[in-house]
Amino acid sequence: MPKPKKRGSNHQRGAGGQPRSVQPFSDEDASIETMSHCSGFSDPASFTEDGPEIDEEATQEDLEYKLKGFIDLTLDKSAKTRQAALESLKNAFSSKILYEFIMERRMTLTDSIERCIKKGKSDEQCAAAGLACLLCVQMGSGIESEEIFKTLGPVLKKIVCDGTASIQARQACATCLGICCFIVTDDITELYSTMECLENIFTKAYQRDRDTNGVSSTHNTVLHISALLAWTLLLTICPMNEVKKKIEMHLHKLPSLLSCDDLNMRIAAGETLALLFELARETDADFFYEDMELLTEKLRALATDGNKHRAKVDKRKQRSVFRDVLRAVEERDFPTEMVKFGPERMYIDCWVKKQTYDTFKDILGSGMQYHLQSNDFLRNVFELGPPVMLDAATLKTMKISRFERHLYNSAAFKARTKARSKCRDKRADVGEFF
C-alpha cells in the first residue's frame, strides 16, 4: 500500500513552484519589529525600566528580510498569496517609517501595485490601492512620489470611471487617487484633472434625487461618499480663485444630499458644507448665502433628529456631527479638538484641518500617532516642525508605572459610567423626544 501523504507537507516546500503559506505581518511584528505606536518606540510611557535591551540593528535586518519576501510574493500566481502580501506590507508601512528601504525598491513596489490593480479582483485591488496611499505617505512630496503617481494615476482613474469594476475597488481607488494627488501634485493641471474625475462620480448623487427611473441605486452610495471626501481634500489645496468657482458650482447642490437615506452620505455632505462655508468666508468676509434660512432648517432638523425608524447609535452620531456643522454655518464656530501623540499635542481648530486629519487617520489607522511623531511629510502638513528627539533620560522621567495606569483607567471608567447613568436617568438627550 502506498504511504499516506503527510498533511501540510506542501507548505514546507517553497521551491519548485509549490504553494507557499504566507506568514502575515502580525501584531507582534508591528509592536516589536516595526516600532509601532503601540510599542515603546512611540509611547515613552511604555518603556520598562529593567526590560531586556533590544538589538535595533538586528531587528531592522529581520524586518527588511520579511518585507523583501512580501514584495516578492506580490507577484505570486495565487491571488490569496498576493493579497496577504499586500496586507502585510500595508501593516508595516502604516506602523513604521521605512523611507530608505522603500526608496531603493519604489519602482518594484509601484510595478507590483500597478499589476495588482490592473489584473486583480476586488479585494486585491482594494489592498493594492491602500498600499499605494501608504507608499506615497512614506515617500512624501518629491520627485520620486511624482514618478509613482504618474505611473499609478491613469490606472486609478480608469478603475474609478469603470462602471464594470466592483464598487469596493472603485471606492478604494477614488480614495487613493485623492490622497496621492494631495501628497505629490505640484502640477495644477493634474490637480484640476483629478478633481474633475472625482466630480464626475459624486455629482451623480445629485441626479439620483431627481431620478424617477431608479437608475442610480444606493449600491453606489459608498463610491459617491469616497469621491466626495477625496474631492473635498483636494479642494483644501486649490488656489482661491478655483475655490470660488467650486463653491459657486456645488454649494447650492450639496444640501440635496442631506436628505439621503445613507447616514454616512448625510454626514459627508454636512461636513463638506461646513468646509465650503469656512473657505468661502476666508475668501470673502462678507460672504452671503441666499438660501441660508432653508439650509439652517435642514441642519437643525438633522441635529435634533428623533426618527424612530433610525438606530439610536446612528441618531446620536448624526446629531453630534450636525450640531457642529450648524454652529459652523450659523455662528462661524468650530469646536477645537486636541490630539496627543507622545510628549506632543496638536490642536484641530478648523474644518480644513479636521478633513485632512480624518483622511490620513483612516489610511494609517493605529499608526497615525507614530507618523505624526516621525513622518516629516505629515509634520509639515500639520505645521508641527521637525520631529522631537528625546533622550533616554527624558523618556525615563516620563514613564508611568503599570499600577498608576491601572488606577487612572479604573477612575476614568467609573466616572464615565456615572456620567452615562445620569444621562440615561434624566434623559439629557432631548432629541430623543422629537
Q: What percent of the chain has pLDDT over 70?
A: 78
Q: Assess contact for 211 and 220: CB atoms under 8 A.
A: no
Rounded distance between C-alpha atoms, residue 45 and residue 409, angstroms:
14
Q: Any idea what DSSP says for residue 50?
A: S
Consecutive H or E run containing 87? helix 79-95
Rounded distance between C-alpha atoms, residue 429 and residue 11, angstroms:
57
Q: Assess contact for 334 and 324: CB atoms under 8 A.
A: yes
pLDDT tens digits for 86-128?
999 999 999 999 999 999 999 999 999 999 999 999 999 999 9
Q: What is residue 380's three-state secondary structure?
A: helix
Q: What is residue 1's three-state secondary structure?
A: coil
Q: Which of 34-38, 228-232, 291-295, 399-403 has the highest mean pLDDT?
A: 228-232
Q: Any idea what DSSP says for residue 166?
A: -
Rounded distance between C-alpha atoms, residue 133 and residue 180, angstroms:
6
In sign, the C-alpha dihedral spanning 66, 71, 75, 78 is positive
Strand partners, 348: 337
Helix 122-139 vs helix 79-95: angle between axes, to the nearest 10 degrees?
A: 30
CA-derived radius of gyration, the chain: 24
Rounded distance between C-alpha atoms, residue 123 and residue 103, angstroms:
26
Strand partners, 38: none
Q: pLDDT tier at 44 (50, 70, 90 boundaries)? A: very low
With a CB cutoff of 8 Å and minimum separation 6, the contacts of 9 are none
pTM of the model: 0.78
pLDDT, averaged across the chain: 83
pLDDT tens digits for 52-92?
444 567 788 899 999 999 999 999 999 999 999 999 999 99
Strand partners, 339: 346
| Residue 294 confidence (pLDDT) | 94
Strand partners, 78: none
Q: What is residue 399's three-state secondary structure?
A: coil
Which CA distances in Å does 185 have to 188, 190, 234, 245, 344? 7, 7, 10, 20, 29
With a CB cutoff of 8 Å and minimum separation 6, the contacts of 230 are 174, 175, 177, 178, 179, 198
Rounded distance between C-alpha atoms, residue 26 and residue 92, angstroms:
9
Rounded distance between C-alpha atoms, residue 291 and residue 405, angstroms:
52
